[in-house]
């Protein structure tokens, strides 16, 4: 690390710790890979991607309890009323600045995690209805045609909703980065922001790397182990 890079780093404060950022970009990569594998009819890889998505979701739920300060749901989720007030203040140009997720961004995070969970869970029961040839989830063979059709519909609708949520998320990040001059995009990579008068905290407290490894191990065990036991 050069002196200039070290000095620039010292001028900034932690916003999101490493495990939180790795989850975010890991989920982006897993969902993108799942989409590509579906388009190319790579069935086995698509199923693996679905399991990875589920493991990441479980990890994030655990990390949302024991992770760094800005990763904990109890720290960044606000009430619907508080989120509505923030939205009104945003429209008036007098919103508060947040080190972590702002109230609307926090609910978008929950929506993205929830939709990823819906995609992963429905994929376990999904099949290429009515042929059951191209896509075959781990539990599809246990279901009736009607149940498989329902799982297929949920999976398809869930993906459309996930696409919409991603577009809204990207648009919101772009708005804050370009219009509000909030360095969100660099912070999503480096985890750091310039110091400022933030509403939530002056700087974040990172989570334990050991705790992150344990959470990931538990998540993988739940998903892969749970599927193996249930088959």
Cα distances (angstroms) measured from residue 72 to each of 16, 18, 59, 194, 230: 11, 14, 12, 21, 31
d(CA 220, CA 209): 17
pLDDT range class, residue 5, cuts 50, 70, 90: very low
- Domain boundaries, given as residue ranges, for the chain: 3-230
pLDDT of 6 > 50? The answer is no
Please check whether residue 93 is in contact with residue 119, taking contact to mean a CB–CB distance below 8 angstroms: no
Please check whether residue 9 is in contact with residue 192, taking contact to mean a CB–CB distance below 8 angstroms: yes
pLDDT at position 43: 85
pLDDT range class, residue 149, cuts 50, 70, 90: confident
pTM of the model: 0.90
The class (CATH top level) of 3-230 is mainly alpha
Taking residues 123-128, report their average pLDDT.
Answer: 85
Look over the chain and give the mean of its residue pLDDT values, rounded to a whole number.
Answer: 90
Tokens of 55: 């493991």
Q: Which long-range contacts (CB under 8 A, 24 or more apart) does 45-49 make?
A: 46/135, 47/123, 47/136, 47/137, 47/138
pLDDT digits (tens, 9 = 90+) for 21-72: 999 999 999 999 999 998 888 888 999 999 999 999 999 999 999 999 999 9
pLDDT of 1 > 60? The answer is no
- Those residues whose C-beta lies under 8 Å from the C-beta of residue 102, and which sit 6 or more positions away, are 86, 95, 96
Which run of H or of E encompasses 126? none
Q: What is the CA radius of gyration of the chain?
A: 20
Determine the angle formed by the axes of helices 145-178 and 103-125, rounding to 10 degrees.
Answer: 160
Region of 41 on the Ramachandran plot (φ > 0 left; ψ -120 to 50 alpha; else beta): left
Percent of the chain with pLDDT over 70: 92
């Amino acid at each position: 690390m050069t002196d200039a890079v070290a000095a620039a780093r010292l001028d900034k404060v932690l916003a999101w710790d490493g495990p939180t950022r790795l989850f975010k970009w890991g989920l982006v990569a897993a969902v993108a890979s799942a989409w590509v594998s579906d388009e190319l009819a790579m069935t086995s890889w698509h199923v693996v991607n679905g399991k990875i998505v589920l493991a990441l979701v479980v990890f994030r739920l655990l990390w949302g309890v024991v992770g760094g300060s800005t990763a904990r749901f109890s720290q960044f989720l606000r009430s619907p009323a508080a989120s509505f007030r923030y939205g009104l203040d945003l429209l008036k140009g007098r919103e508060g600045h947040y080190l972590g997720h702002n109230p609307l961004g926090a609910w978008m995070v929950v929506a993205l995690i929830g939709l990823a969970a819906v995609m992963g869970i429905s994929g376990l029961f999904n099949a290429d209805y009515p042929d059951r040839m191209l896509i075959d989830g781990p539990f599809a063979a246990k279901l009736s045609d009607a149940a498989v059709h329902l799982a297929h519909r949920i999976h398809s609708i869930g993906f459309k909703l996930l696409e919409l949520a991603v577009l809204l998320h990207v648009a919101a990040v772009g708005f804050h980065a370009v219009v509000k001059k909030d360095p969100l995009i660099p912070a999503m990579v480096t985890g750091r922001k310039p110091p400022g008068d933030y509403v939530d905290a002056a700087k974040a407290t990172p989570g334990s790397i050991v705790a992150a490894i344990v959470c990931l191990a538990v998540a993988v065990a739940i998903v892969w182990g749970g599927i193996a036991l249930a088959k």
